[in-house]
Amino acid sequence: MVAETRIGVNDLIAPLFVREDISEPQPITSLPGVMQHTQQSLRAEVKELASLGVPGVVLFGLPNRKDATGSEAWNPDGVIQIALNNLRSDHGDDIVAIADLCVDEYTDHGHCGVLTPQGDVDNDATLELYQKVALAQAEAGADMVAPSGMMDGQVGAIRQALDANGHELIPILAYSAKYASAEYGPFREAVDVNIVGGGNRKSYQQDPANGREAMEEIRFDIAEGADLIMVKPALAYLDVIAQARAQFDLPLAAYHVSGEYAMLKAAALNGWIDGPATALEHLTAIKRAGADIILTYLAREIAETLQ
């Protein structure tokens, strides 16, 4: 009766993977219960989620073909554009189809942008690619775009491209404080991304040691036109979520990422912890810290237990 915090189905957004070159959904070893979907199985999964009352999904695509610029990300017939089109015709406005906006699943070198001849990520050249991706996603029926590449100026560049092309009403969910975390490992298996030369994303993602700097990142994104802001990962960054909640009044999302889910599942599958109880405790803590919505691979099972 006196609980200050409650998790409801409305708080949850399900991340989903759709892959081009498969005829059956493929399990992801390090994310038990999560699939690489075909277009068809994705539609079925989203129907289930919608009937459980989950208000939104965030989509990641695995293309057949990768290249240096990630051009499949803005192909109007690309894997994610087809998925968005299908969800739009299946659901209209009754589920929010969010398109993750980045190119790392589409580049042959695995970085979130184009590279200079020296092999560094070229921030400003990448912004032009993100503008093309945003337009392709909006035209395919995305309800919201979620830039996750952590390039400086990405929110402003995307806002400008959307506004100039009749998509003023498409909101931006900004991955504002996204850390260069070791907890994205299983996700990279899920999307088949290997960063060239064993590289990392420390030149564009945040240093896990820095909390105040995250507030600066969020402030920039809001000034550039973000409609929702995000902290990612979640559990190791509850202080950052709490600080963001105290300082900013926009809707605040937190991403309970692949590694957080994988650690929970691994311990639960070994019988070392009570999986469902720990899952609910973790999501409650993320909400208690100040998140309004949580992107989590647990969305479906939590929605089922809350029915």
The CA distance from 137 to 182, in Å, is 29
The answer to the question of residue 100 lying near ligand PBG (CB under 6 A) is yes
The CA distance from 254 to 207, in Å, is 17
The answer to the question of residue 104 lying near ligand PBG (CB under 6 A) is yes
Binding-site size, ligand PBG (CB under 6 A)? 10
**SS3 for 266?**
helix
- In terms of CB distance, is 2 or 268 closer to ligand PBG? 268
Side-chain half-sphere of 197: how many Cα atoms within 13 Å?
Answer: 6
The answer to the question of residue 17 lying near ligand PBG (CB under 6 A) is no
- In terms of CB distance, is 51 or 74 closer to ligand PBG? 74
- In terms of CB distance, is 65 or 202 closer to ligand PBG? 202
The answer to the question of residue 148 lying near ligand PBG (CB under 6 A) is yes
Residues with Cβ within 8 Å of 220's Cβ and at least 6 positions away in sequence, in order, are 152, 155, 176
Catalytic residue among 47, 66, 202, 232: 232
Helix (H) or strand (E) holding 204: none
The CA distance from 260 to 293, in Å, is 16
- In terms of CB distance, is 25 or 186 closer to ligand PBG? 186
Side-chain half-sphere of 250: how many Cα atoms within 13 Å?
Answer: 21
Q: DSSP alpha helices (H): ranges in the chain? A: 39-52, 79-91, 123-140, 154-164, 185-190, 212-224, 238-247, 258-269, 275-289, 299-305
Site string for ligand PBG, 53-92 (x = CB under 6 A): ----------------------------------------
Compute the least distance from the CB of residue 151 to ligand PBG, in Å. 12
Residue list 243-272, contact with ligand PBG (CB under 6 A): 257-258
- In terms of CB distance, is 143 or 183 closer to ligand PBG? 183
The answer to the question of residue 127 lying near ligand PBG (CB under 6 A) is no
Q: Which of 187, 204, 237, 248 binds ligand PBG (CB under 6 A)?
A: 187
Reply yes or no on whether 178 is catalytic.
yes
Reply yes or no on whether 202 is catalytic.
no
Residues 148-170, buried b or exposed e (16+ Cβ, 10 A)? bbbbebbbbbbbbbbeeeebeeb
Compute the least distance from the CB of residue 204 to ligand PBG, in Å. 9
Compute the least distance from the CB of residue 23 to ligand PBG, in Å. 25
Q: Which of 17, 184, 204, 248 binds ligand PBG (CB under 6 A)?
A: 184
The answer to the question of residue 131 lying near ligand PBG (CB under 6 A) is no
The CA distance from 305 to 105, in Å, is 32
Catalytic residue among 47, 66, 178, 265: 178
- In terms of CB distance, is 169 or 301 closer to ligand PBG? 301
The answer to the question of residue 107 lying near ligand PBG (CB under 6 A) is no
**C-beta pairs of 80-86 under 8 Å, 24+ apart in sequence:** 80/18, 80/137, 80/140, 81/136, 81/137, 81/139, 81/140, 82/39, 82/140, 83/18, 83/39, 83/42, 83/59, 84/59, 84/137, 84/140, 84/141, 84/142, 85/140, 85/141, 86/39, 86/42, 86/43
- In terms of CB distance, is 40 or 137 closer to ligand PBG? 137
Which residues make up the interface to ligand PBG (CB under 6 A)?
A: 100, 102, 104, 112, 148, 184, 187, 201, 257-258
Cite the active site residues: 178, 232
